[in-house]
Amino acid sequence: MHNITLIPGDGIGPEVSFAVKEIIDSTGVSINWDIQEAGEKAFNTVGNPLPESVIESIRKNKIALKGPVTTPIGKGFRSINVALRKEFNLYANLRPVKKLPGIRTPFDHVDLVIVRENTEDLYSGIEKIIDNDHVEAIKMISREASRKIGLFAFDYARKNGRKKVTAVHKANILKYSDGLFLESVREIKGEFPDIEYEEIIIDNLCMQLVQRPEYFDVLVMPNLYGDIVSDLCAGLVGGLGLVPGANLGDHYSVFEAVHGSALDIAGKNLANPLALLQSAVLMLEHINETAAARSIKDAINWILSRKERLTPDLGGIGTTTSMTQDLVAYIRKNSVGTLN
């Protein structure tokens, strides 16, 4: 029995979260779900977007699955995602980006992994007002965090049969901060002679990603670049609604949908659950429930080949409910044949 914290989130979060819960449960894996509220709903209810009960739940269970939460722009409370990463030292953000069958994009051979340092850089949130016309933000880079994310990237590449790690930077301009990041990753590469290593400037990477994304394998980078490149790469394979995400630390892990809370379609039964479902696959693999993960992967590949069964954002006429029902039915029946 696994004890896992489930944070439904805001907007479409509850719809996709409970859909994914139902799909996971259909595999037969034994999970005790501890459901906790965080985000805008929690803020409106208890005055705190990240209640202590959520922190206590994750601390106890070690693993969480989180739907999208709303973060106010330019005002209000700070990002729940950032707060969780800091609270549990979830220093590695992992986002595999792979072209899925049945999804039409200009790119047919995308299969790369983004490894993003998750605790430093401008996301440290160190800002101050100098005067009415000037503000200052601090880009925080440390050797310890940079070495740690470098080690994570190389170790992930070796364990998953990846051949190359590319460090992403802007050290030609940010000579001290990004320079320290590069120096730290270079210190790690010597421990992995079997993995090819290269470096690329962030703006050049963005150009090359939309010209030849198949060239790249594992990309490791500081926090801000990772956030931007993750969304760019999601666009290569069909959008944020298809891409999983995991925040990993030495002792705790939070698996999440990387898309927003999509308030415009909340409650309309139109939300696509595949991003959070693929994040749940990463979670199941993380807890060694590989059979359940494989069943869900097979079901995803099956439904992507039946376009009419997909939600409208994927070109179908399905709903969140119908997609969930189809996936559950396939998982339950695939041992005796496929659905027609």
List active site positions.
Answer: 123, 170, 203, 227
Please spell the DSSP secondary structure of 281-318, one letter per residue.
HHHHHHTT-HHHHHHHHHHHHHHHT-GGGS-GGGT---
Residue 272 CB-half CA count within 13 A: 26
Q: Which residues pair with 196 in a beta bridge?
A: 164
Helices (H), the chain: 13-26, 40-46, 52-61, 80-87, 143-159, 177-189, 202-209, 223-236, 274-286, 290-304, 320-333
Q: Of all helices (H) and strands (E), which one includes residue 339?
A: none
Largest CA distance in the chain: 69
* Alpha carbon distance 114, 105 (integer Å): 20
Token pair of 337 as six digits: 């044949």
The rounded distance, in Å, linking the Cα atoms of 130 and 136 is 7
- The CA-to-CA distance between both ends of the chain, in Å, stands at 34
> For residues 336 and 208, what is the distance between their CA atoms, to the nearest angstrom?
45
